[in-house]
Amino acid sequence: MIDPKYDENGLIPVIVQDWRTKTVLMQAYMNEESLRLTKETGKATYYSRSRGKLWVKGEESGHFQYVKEIFTDCDNDCLLLKVEQVGSACHTNNFSCFYRDLEGEEVKSSLPDPAVLYEIFDVICDRALHPKEGSYTNYLFDKGVDKICKKVGEEAAEVIIAAKNRSKEEISYEAADLIFHLLVALKETGATPEDVFLQLQSRR
């Protein structure tokens, strides 16, 4: 067990990162008690220097941070929390507190957030638990694995055709359809995107 090195005020800086997208969310401080509570509850708990007390991230906004892993740096004087972020991390309602450059300009990524994959999978999981009338996802679940597999095959064929047509727009559209149906198939069989990522990681 590694003992963190707290400063003269009994505090240690903490970097918070989204465990899925690797986005740096915020920076805060912990003392020994807040670190202990974080470990015990699984919810990120920090120490407010301005208010002089502990605070649980999300206790007012509902934007909790569920801690997946805790790391320390090489000098043991800074912590890294990898969390599942509910909603936005920043009080400005931005996902990350680091949304401006030094010129004061707001920086928006030109690429969509890859977390959309998880968002879609979360919706699929929610449909499985709480069926919604008229939902296409529930239609697939109701029809069962044979129907789901048939749709995966159909969408894969559409991707092949799009690739043969050398159409970037077409293959992007069809690949999105295929990925959606693959996510449904994952849920139907009890697997998750993480299981797929682990397989991909092993093939590097």
- Rounded Cα distance between 33 and 46, Å, is 9
Fold for domain 1-109? Ubiquitin-like (UB roll) (3.10.20)
Q: What is the pLDDT of residue 1?
A: 85
- Rounded Cα distance between 77 and 117, Å, is 35
Q: For every one of its 204 residues, what pLDDT tens digit does the chain have, with 9 covering 90 and above?
A: 899 999 999 999 999 999 988 899 999 999 999 999 999 999 999 999 999 999 999 999 999 999 999 999 999 999 999 999 998 999 999 989 999 999 888 876 555 667 789 889 999 999 999 999 999 999 999 999 999 999 999 999 999 999 999 999 999 999 999 999 999 999 999 999 999 999 999 998
Write the burial class of residue 190 (CB in 10 Å: 0-12 exposed, 13-18 middle, 19+ buried): exposed
Q: What is the pLDDT of residue 118?
A: 86
Q: What is the pLDDT of residue 112?
A: 63
Q: What is the pLDDT of residue 195?
A: 95
Nearest-5° Cα angle at 174, 173 to 179: 100
Q: What is the pLDDT of residue 109?
A: 59
Write the burial class of residue 170 (CB in 10 Å: 0-12 exposed, 13-18 middle, 19+ buried): middle
Which residue type does 149 have? C
Q: What is the pTM of this model?
A: 0.67
Of how many residues is the chain composed?
204
Radius of gyration of the chain (CA): 21
Q: What is the pLDDT of residue 158?
A: 98
CATH 2.40.30.170 is the classification of domain 116-202: no
Q: What is the pLDDT of residue 114?
A: 73
The domain limits of the chain are 1-109, 116-202
Q: What is the pLDDT of residue 116?
A: 84
- The angle that helices 136-143 and 145-164 make with each other, rounded to 10 degrees, is 120
Three-class SS state of 81: strand
